[in-house]
A and B are shown apart, each in its own frame.
Chain A
Amino acid sequence: MSSSNGHLLEVKNLRTYFDTEDGVVKAVDGISFVLKRGETLGIVGESGSGKSVTNLGIIRLIPDPPGKIVSGEVLFNGQDILLLPAAEVRKIRGRRIAMIFQDPMTSLNPFLKISRQLMEMTQLHLGHTKAQAYEHAIKMLKTVGIPDARERVDNYPHEFSGGMRQRVMIAMALSCEPELLIADEPTTALDVTIQAQILELIKKLKQETGTSVILITHDLGVVAGMTDHVVVMYAGKIFEQAKTSQLFARPGNPYTKGLLRSVPDPTSEQGKLYQIPGSPPDVAHLKPGCPFAPRCERAEDICRREFPPFVELTPDHHSLCHFADEVFAESGGMVSSNP
């Protein structure tokens, strides 16, 4: 592909606003990140932090109106997707960038056979004939571990269980061997054992095909096991960005620390579970200071007054906090005492 210095996807300063009766909602406000070929990026955050909107923005699926990508660039192989004509974007969707959605119960069309839905992809993008597409559909179902794929391919979605449906979604997403797979909370609607299966499946297929993955989740456990880099989002902004191991070992942001503390630890004594006090802010009416300040344990006057800087802690570890360096230093100590 074109010169893109090894970066498959480069999102620069993406802003997506929604015009609502309540005012302008800045769902995504100046997001930048880079995804290298073959890597996995995790995007973590609470509900409403802008994770999904970021990724819908990447393939231009923001509902417009009311949504609007106000500014920014989405460079895919060095080409700005936001500037392409709609027909070109459609050729990229599914063919080079595929998506898996949160709820497999609703993301398959209940009235179409599985085969039809799988065949549509390859007929559309790879120019398969009906027979070729049908065989390919069966092959993909086998790849994702559906037993008796040949018999099951002509079933309707309601004849599949939730986990199997998510497998079908993965089969569909990967059937054109995309360069980038965006998985938007792929396991949230599934029960725990199925979650593990699906994650393992994504991991394995990623290794086999070399597809890059963006994994959106609010489950830090998933991030730890699956990703190379993590982006932590809050109120439409990136609060912390680091290598996964770095982020877990030495978080440099009070919000990330709070998130990490909120993960129940099965080895510790039963006690009260930690939670970050308060709830995410109304992004239509943000106050001038740090959006997290009202919930932050170490907030000081400056936090409520001024928007925090995006501090570089190490070359690939950044944090949006007035006290990033201090938090980073503290958690270094925390790690050494608790390896």
Chain B
Amino acid sequence: MSVKIREYRGTPYSRKDLEEGRVPAFRDKPRARYAWACGPAMGRFLAELKEGRIIGRRCRRCGRVLVPPRMFCEWCFRPTDEWVYIRDTGTVLTFSASYLGPAAERLKEPIIIAVIQLDGASPGIGILHKLGEVKQEEVHVGMRVKAVWKPPEEREGAITDILYFKPIREGQGGGE
């Protein structure tokens, strides 16, 4: 390749070239708006969040309790069988501290995120959420955490009805 080709095409430009008008450009903004039907599984999950509860589904064949709940088990390929309430305490499976916002903007204070295996769900079945009331250095795999909920009147039926999960400190008990 490199031995046979003389020229590789492409004309780079810089952000300044664009800002200072040296590169012609056309601007447009898509209006792409959706109202996704939640269906029975996600719908019930969100409705329960509004009530301050987390719900999952069990597949009797493989025995797994699944969160987020789904009407079908993807391993067995059959409908799941029953609703199961999950506790709002759990264990950190993995975590990270983000200094980036959604548009790659820098954040002064990091957002601490984690995949949390909830008590009552099957091993390895976790959800993604934030951690709060904790310093980055304190977080470790295996840390026990509990959900901090928005006050009932502020809940909307969204994953953000849980503000974050906080560590369960010594003497605070492991959950209800």
A and B found bound together:
no
